Structure 1
Amino acid sequence: MSYQYLLCEIENRVAVVTINHSPGNQLNTQVYQEITRLMGELEVNPDVRAIVLTGAGDEAFVAGADIHEMVDLDTVGMMNLTQVTRVSFSRIENLTKPVIAAINGEARGGGFELALTCDLRIASEKAQFAFTEINLGVIPGGGGTQRIQKIVGQGTAKELLYFGKFIDAERAYQLQIVNKVVPHDQVLSTAKEWAEELAQKAPVALRMMKAAVQTGSNVDLESALTIEAACYDAAFATQDRREGMAARLENRTAKYTGK
């Protein structure tokens, strides 16, 4: 399937998805829908074990939503767009394969929310982050109010959301919003290195690991432990588990097949 605003390259079992929508790689209905479709394709592609998501150019990861599309929408129109956004972001968050955001520049509004749907985030030293919706008279509508507080806590989340000011990459790292800050020219290569390393892990175990963390974070501890146990049992039943343990005993590198 061809895409107008997305680029996708697959190499070494890693798919690099680039949002290419000038100016600023802004999000609109078509971009959201293309993300949903492409992520669905990558989910079932056996040649892909990890995904890197980034923005085209050197200035922006994603500089928010396309206000030109939103400005004249009525309430029903905005409700429809919000649903499209939610489906797209949930598709990324709920992929069984790890997704790494390579944040090469500004992550504003919806772009910040998009980054939060990814499992891991690597930021350029030039990256900046902000929930700027309050400055437009609205609030984040793509999950930002909920996902950010799970990372930084409610107090800091309110600071970021209420004031709508940019923070730099180092501050984002201190708040554990990003996992690593690298020189600007290394952000994509570092994300690809991480993805290639993850692509060598046992796919089912990685899938179960993600399910245990993601699902378990939304329930009470006893329920989370039950989920973890079920995911453990599923991973233990695989051929990859036998290969991994055999490789350890034989002092060799395991070769995982995803079975």
Structure 2
Amino acid sequence: MEALRKIGQTGGCLVSRALSASLHRRQTGAVPLLLLQQKRYYADPGSYVQVVRDTVYEDIAVVKMNRKPVNGLNKDFLTELNITLEKLENNASYRGVILTSANPGVFSAGLDITEMYQKSPEYTSAFWRSLQDFWMRLYSTNLATVAAINGHSPAGGCLMALSCDYRVMAQGKFTIGLNEVQLGIVAPFWFQELMIRTCGERETEKALQLGTLYSPEEALKVGVVDEIVPLEDVTSVARERLIKWLQIPDHARVLSKQMGRHQLREKLHSKQEEDIAFFTNFITKDAIQKSIGRYLEGLKNRKK
């Protein structure tokens, strides 16, 4: 009960600004002048993330990943995603986020493998920390989040989707799943526990040992995604589903979310250094480096 009390205190403080802004809009029916003056689109030159304010629902931000060619998650990209989400959290005019890709066909191919190959332990540790920090923010953000999965979403891409409140995936020859073992890498405990919370223990056990990549229909069946729609409708349907979340009073929605997610988030937070040390020690082993090297060589040969 003490833990829930603390969550309640924290959540109440964090949602107060967003709730005040929401009530203002509902009571007056007007959009604040400052909000109208803001640009609907912003992105720093050369950035990997684009943010577009929804043209109909002003409190929704569409976050588009744009690190070509496949939105591979390197340290800089993860840091930018984290900062982007933090900025949206601190902007009281936003209450919800649609996370998607600027390049239909690939939502995100997951972690950039080159970030784990022939790098110093110091760099590897910093890279893994950037992933942890972004995941903890995405998973526990007070913003309502919907993943608009408009393409392939293996490994880290799947992790991001699973961390959102709702997941809409495009129909077609796309795949999604935590397939780390296929590269000779082990999914850490927080990947595994997140999928258990989503799909159950037995399905997770099989999927993580085999590195299963699900088709959209298979992903829907086991609960990896909540809905599948034609590719051209992914964003619009994601918007419709997000509106349902935003119809709930912010304080009740946020507290319910935090009560459900606080335990796993805090588990990683308390074991963050241990998790970094484990990953760095594992990934820098000669056998793992050779396995990653063979994988990267295979990718080069395929391109030829």
TM-score, with length taken from structure 2 = 0.67
3, 10, 18: which is aligned to 2:53?
A: 10
Partner of 1:200: 247
Tell me, yes or no, if structure 1 residue 165 matches structure 2 residue 212. Answer: yes
Matching of residue 79 in structure 1 with residue 122 in structure 2:
no
| Cα drift, residue 218 of structure 1 | 8.6
Judge which range, 138-147 or 201-210, deviates more.
Answer: 138-147
- Change in Cα spacing, 1:77 to 1:218, as seen in structure 2 (3 Å) is closer
Contact 1:86 1:143 in 2 (8 A): no
Per the alignment, residue 190 of structure 1 pairs with: 237
Structure 2: gaps of 5 or more residues: 1-41, 267-304
Give the Å deviation of 1:75.
3.3
Two-structure CA RMSD over aligned residues (Å): 2.0
For 1:106, the aligned partner's letter is H
Match of 1:152 among 199, 205, 208: 199
CA contact (8 A) 2:162 2:198 kept: no
Higher helix share: 2
2:156 counterpart of 1:110: yes
Deviation at 1:77, TM superposition (A): 2.5
Maintained 8 Å contact 1:122/1:187:
yes
- Paired amino acid for 1:18: K
Contact 2:64 2:100 in 1 (8 A): yes
What percentage of residue pairs aligned between the two structures are identical? Answer: 25
Q: How big is the shift at 1:23?
A: 1.1
Quick one: which of 57, 68, 81 aligns to 1:22? 68
Q: Which position in structure 2 is the counterpart of 1:59?
A: 105
Contact 1:128 1:167 in 2 (8 A): yes
Structure 2 CA distance for partners of 1:46 and 1:218, relative to 1, 3 Å: closer
How far apart are the structure 1 equivalents of 2:119 and 2:84? 26
Give the letter for the 1:101 counterpart.
Answer: A
Deviation string 1:179-224 (CA, Å, 9 cap, x unpaired) is 11111111111001222333333222221221232237899xxxxx
Residue range with higher mean Cα deviation, 160-169 or 71-80? 71-80
- SS of the residue corresponding to residue 39 of structure 1 reads helix
Q: Which amino acid aligns with 1:169?
A: P
CA distance 1:46–1:68, change in 2 (3 Å): same
Match of 1:143, SS state, is helix
Q: In structure 2, give the amino acid aligned to 1:206.
A: R
Contact 1:134 1:163 in 2 (8 A): yes
- 1:14–1:199 Cα contact (<8 Å) kept: no
Alpha-carbon distance in structure 1 between the residues aligned to 2:247 and 2:95: 8
For the 8 Å contact 1:82–1:142, the answer to whether it is kept is no
Tell me if the contact between 2:62 and 2:98 (Cα under 8 Å) persists in the aligned partners. Answer: yes
Deviation at 1:99, TM superposition (A): 0.7
CA distance in 1, matches of 2:265, 2:79: 27
Note the alpha carbon deviations across 1:124-169, whole angstroms, 9 max, x for none.
Answer: 1124112222122111249322211121122211211111132111
CA distance in 2, matches of 1:175, 1:149: 11
Residue aligned with 1:22, SS: coil
Q: TM-score, normalised by structure 1?
A: 0.78
Matches of 1:97 and 1:123, distance apart in 2: 20
Structure 1: 5+ residue stretches without partners: 220-259
